[in-house]
Amino acid sequence: MKDRFKILVSTEEIQQKNIDLANQIVRDFGTEPFLLLSILTGSFIFSADLCRAIVTAGGDPIIAFLSASSYGSQTTSSGNVSLTIFKELSLSSKRVLLVDDILDTGYTLSHIKNYVLAHSASFCKTAVLLDKPSRRKVSFSADYCGFTIDDHFVVGYGLDLNDQFRSLPYVAIIQDT
Ligand code: IMP
Ligand code: MG
């Protein structure tokens, strides 16, 4: 199975990066509780590892989820982002850390950050495992970024192609597509 994939970011690199990011986040958010808002589905593994690294670093994240989808082709976003909120999500006066798998065109995170701020969060920071700055369609940068990558479509560690490959323990490029 490994032959199908060219590993771009290894399991060990991701683990170390989660520790680094968690330390930066705790430096900024301190030890008081804050809302870690994980954007499903792609960020479920990153969020799970990052929130535990944050606790190890001394932080106190309260976890909540929302789901974002945008209609477009298989591998790119249309900019038409729709959100699903799973339960009463009180954002008023909350300090929010939005967590996503990858920052690509920027449509998803900029839309959700606007939503969070429009619902009276006291502030909103963003964390992404991966960033593809060359693909940006709207001006947006993440406050915490794991790895900047070139314009490849990647899978693994939560990222999918048609719901496949999310469970790979590394980030990879598919060799045969
Ligand atoms: P954006 O709205 O274009 O920034 O895209 C964000 C979403 O597109 C991510 O949360 C992913 O779900 C998806 N996406 C963007 N690039 C990739 C990729 O290389 N592999 C898998 N999903 C991707
Ligand atoms: Mg996603």
Distance 3 CA to ligand 1 centre (A): 23
Confidence band, pLDDT 50/70/90 cuts, at residue 96: very high
Confidence band, pLDDT 50/70/90 cuts, at residue 166: very high
- Give how far the C-alpha of residue 133 lies from the chain's centroid of Cα atoms, to the nearest Å: 15
Residue 177: its pLDDT value, please? 54
Mutate to test the pocket of ligand 1, among 102, 114, 134, 140 (most ligand atoms within 8 A of CB): 102
Q: Where are the alpha helices (DSSP H) in 32-163?
A: 44-56, 107-118
Q: Where are the alpha helices (DSSP H) in 57-174?
A: 107-118
One-character DSSP codes across 38-67: EEETTTHHHHHHHHHHHHHTT-EEEEEEEE
Residue of the nearest CA to atom 17 in ligand 1?
A: 153
Residue 114: its pLDDT value, please? 96
Residue 63 pLDDT more than 70?
A: yes
- Compute the distance between CA of residue 139 and CA of residue 47 in angstroms, rounded to an integer: 24
Q: For residue 49, indicate whether it is catalytic.
A: no
Residue 176: its pLDDT value, please? 72
Residue of the nearest CA to atom 3 in ligand 1?
A: 105
Q: Across residues 57-85, what is the average pLDDT?
A: 84
Distance 70 CA to ligand 2 centre (A): 9
pLDDT digits (tens, 9 = 90+) for 134-148: 999 999 999 999 999
| Candidate ranges 66-75, 80-89, 111-120; pick with highest mean pLDDT | 111-120
The four Cα atoms 158, 161, 162, 168 give a dihedral, to 10 degrees, of -40
Mutate to test the pocket of ligand 1, among 101, 114, 155 (most ligand atoms within 8 A of CB): 101
Confidence band, pLDDT 50/70/90 cuts, at residue 80: confident
Q: Which of 20, 104, 143, 151 is catalytic?
A: 104
Q: Which is more confident, 106 or 75?
A: 106
Q: Which is more confident, 78 or 18?
A: 18
